[in-house]
Amino acid sequence: MRDTIRFQYRCRQVGSRPGPLGSSLEADRLACRRIADGGPFVIDAENQTLERIRSGDPGETGRFVRTHIGWMRALATRMLGDPALADDCVQEAFIKAFRAIASFEGRSSLKTWLHRITVNEALMKLRSVDRRREDTIDDLLPEFDQNGCRIEPPWGAIPTPSELLEQKATRELVTAHIRDLPDDYRIVLQLRDIEEMTTAEVADILEISESNVKVRLHRARAALKRLLEPVLRGESE
């Protein structure tokens, strides 16, 4: 906190004048900009929260759980497709987080750290239940003729997602199609396109190469496109 106040004081002194790159003036200016972005305040608040949780403060622990449990549950539900399994997953993710919180070094934000723990826990749950992980999606991939030309019937204007999702049945149909993809593809699609993780993060968490992530993602997207064609063309019920 003392550092934050010192930075605020230096902010007033330095203002927004740029200094020569590498100078202490430039370092201070960059630090001030970080303060303006909320950086150190957020880090300070997280550090205080962490310290209280580590010391077993029940009030802070309760606030911590209530702050994060909602999005963690939504994430687990998206990945597992089963609310009861998702609740188990969240509970176990918190247990793991509490066990590991003493060694959390703050290299990422608390939320990023919890996100990763939850994804890991959901992946473990998926491995423990019997699912169709080996199904092929070859029949759903794009087609080409003997000349190497794509076979694709013409498309007119495609409605926006919000127009298409006005019908609850359409939402359910789309999510059902995603959940029906074989796990190897669906998980990569969900982590990259829905949870917005980077290719490197997905590769790391699934312990596969980045090029494998890219291959699976493209195939999953191509398969999903084929499955959603009736919806996108307005031909579904």
Partner 1 sequence: MMAFADGMRRMIKGFMLKHGPGMITCEEFETFILDYLDGALPPAQRRVFEWHLKICRECRDYLEAYRASIALGKAAMQEVDAPEIDEVPEDLVRAVLDAREK
| Residue 154 interacts with partner 1 (CB under 8 A): yes or no | yes
Q: Residue 32: how many CB atoms within 10 A of its CB?
A: 19
Residue that has been written with the tokens 């060694």 in this structure: 103
Question: What is the distance between the alpha carbons of residues 197 and 211, in angstroms, rounded to a whole number?
Answer: 15
| Residue 231 interacts with partner 1 (CB under 8 A): yes or no | yes
Site for partner 1 in 55-74 (CB under 8 A): 58, 61-62, 65-66, 69-71, 73-74
The full DSSP string for 149-176 is: -EE-----PPPPHHHHTTSHHHHHHHHH
Q: Strand, helix or coil at 198?
A: coil
123 vs 164, which CB is nearer to partner 1?
A: 164
Ramachandran region of residue 4, left (φ > 0), alpha (ψ -120 to 50) or beta? alpha
For residue 174, report the phi and psi dihedrals to the nearest 5 degrees.
-65, -45
DSSP 143: E
| Residue 229 interacts with partner 1 (CB under 8 A): yes or no | yes
From residue 160 to residue 189, the character string flagging contacts with partner 1 as x (rule: CB under 8 A) and all else as - is xxx-xx----xxx-xx-xx----------x
Provide, rounded to whole angstroms, the least separation between the CB of residue 145 and partner 1: 6
Spatial CA neighbour of 139 closest among 228, 51, 219: 219
- From candidates 78, 104, 113, 210, binder to partner 1 by CB under 8 A: 78
Provide, rounded to whole angstroms, the least separation between the CB of residue 126 and partner 1: 16
27 vs 69, which CB is nearer to partner 1?
A: 69
Contact set with partner 1 (CB under 8 A): 58, 61-62, 65-66, 69-71, 73-74, 77-78, 83, 87, 90-91, 94-95, 98, 142, 144-155, 158, 160-162, 164-165, 170-172, 174-175, 177-178, 189-190, 193-194, 199, 214, 217-218, 221-222, 224-225, 228-229, 231-232
